[in-house]
Structure 1
């Protein structure tokens, strides 16, 4: 009886020791996976002791990691290929587009009747829109490949936005729209003036293109703590359902507010520029008010 008790005790001790070893190995695997996730790394999971079942699990985990790494590599290669293609095609389109514009200008100087001049005006308008698309394609591809080098300087954000709106007066009035903007007083941040200007221009242009339902664009600037936020709100057609999470995707035209002659690249460019400045973008639809608001948050490291 005593011998049996001793044997059971030994078996219990061995089982407990085995379970302790297994639990330690599981914790070790978990820590390795957490570390890899935090560092964004892809490396094999290792075990310090031999446990057959855990070895099999580790092999499966390592194979999954290897496949994920291979898929990530393929994605990066494909993304580079797409960016290169966009840059090349936009560059190749510029020469024939310039030629077309030249011939249209020559045609404008010739003797044309009223109907012919109306048709010429349509061709010139379509050519201008194509030129804008080509320029945005090239800009988007360039921004994705470019290093986010920043030329920081103190910028009065209220004044900069007012200047952008003034420079776009013809475009805004041509769309029959008005802008509500109350510039903040002495909101000075250290940032890249050129990148911030392009962000504002693209935000306003997007709102003008898609805000005709209310004929009004609202621009708001907020500065608090260590950040800066620019909000631009415009109207949308009644009943429009917008996938706000996809508004910043390139070429997204899944709803009526992003369809027609627009390329869907303006907000994608805004997102890339905001990320260059260390910021972020967001979008929200207010269905009751019939509006969409685009927000750009940019860090403010220093103020003056």
Structure 2
């Protein structure tokens, strides 16, 4: 009986030691994985030659890590190739477009009758529209592949919007569109100036293309101490026959009426992308009774 007790005790001690080694190996694997994640290293997992199952586990984990690293490198290479492709296509399209504009300019300076001049103006308008479509496409492609980081700084969003509006006055006057905007007080946000200018320009361009009347711009913010965001709202009248889907408004290539305008549907996608880069939010609402579309974006206030 005493011999059996001794044997059982030895077995228990052996199992405790064995389990201790197993736990130690698992803890080592856990620490190595944590180090890979926190220090972004590519070091493979190392385990002692103690348990075949744990050795196989570590081997499988290393295999998965290698596959993941390969996918990461392939993705980087694909992005690089895509950027080069975009750059090459950009050059291939812009070069003939520049030549076309040059020939159109020569024709404009020559002796043309009224009908020929009218046809030339139509061709020039189509060329300008094509140029805008190309620029929009390449702007969006560049943004989503360049991994740009915003240069956050204190910016007077009130002044920035006024400056953007003033630069757009001539375009809007051609369409007999006015901008209604109360003089806002200085409101400071934490943002990237170039990105904010792109955001406002794209929203103004969207209004200029689709608005049936004057545009209202409002800079809204709460004056309470714990207020976090400034909200900028662009509102314009729309056609009663519109088929706008608010949920899809910021989707790539979405256009409410592709037959009525030459829009790519990328302008608002660019707005959403840039606003998200600035830790902000973007949205829209449709008042079907008044036939008004409001598009807004929110940017963190500078504290």
Q: Which runs of 5+ in 2 are unaligned?
A: none
In the other structure, the counterpart of 2:299 is: 297
CA contact (8 A) 1:181 1:219 kept: yes
- Residue deviations 1:207-257, cap 9 Å, x none? 544x5489756553548779654544567844626347x73xxxx215537
Residue 279 of structure 1 aligns with which residue? 278
For normalisation by structure 1, the TM-score amounts to: 0.73
Is the CA contact 1:108–1:117 (under 8 Å) kept in the aligned structure 2? yes
The separation in 1 between residues aligned to 2:108 and 2:74, in whole angstroms, is 50
Counterpart secondary structure, 2:93: helix
Displacement of 1:183 = 5.2
Contact 1:159–1:183, Cα closer than 8 Å, also in 2? no
Matches of 1:73 and 1:226, distance apart in 2: 43
- Tell me what 1:199 maps to: 199
Structure 1 residues 62 and 4, CA gap change in structure 2 (3 angstroms): same
**Is this contact kept in 1: 2:161–2:200, CA < 8 A?**
yes
Alignment deviations for residues 35-77 of structure 1 (CA, whole Å, 9 cap, x no partner): 4334554442233563211111111111111111111111111
Report matched runs for 1:92-131 at 5 Å: 92-109=92-109, 110-114=111-115, 116-131=116-131
Query: Normalization by structure 2: what TM-score?
Result: 0.73
| Equivalences, count | 291
Q: Find the aligned partners of 1:167 and 1:127 in 2 and give their Cα distance.
A: 22
| 24 and 130 in structure 1: CA distance in 2 versus 1, 3 angstrom threshold | same
CA distance in 1, matches of 2:16, 2:294: 61
Candidates 231, 236, 240, aligned match of 2:245: 240
With over 3 angstroms needed to count, the CA separation of the structure-2 counterparts of 1:37 and 1:142, relative to structure 1, is same
Given that 2:231 and 2:297 are in contact with CA atoms closer than 8 Å, whether structure 1 keeps it comes out as yes
Q: Distance in 1 between matches of 2:219 and 2:287?
A: 20
1:67 is matched with which residue? 67
Contact residue 181 and residue 217 of structure 2 kept, 8 A: yes
- TM-fit CA distance, 1:123: 1.8
Name the counterpart of 1:262.
263
CA RMSD of aligned residues (A): 4.1
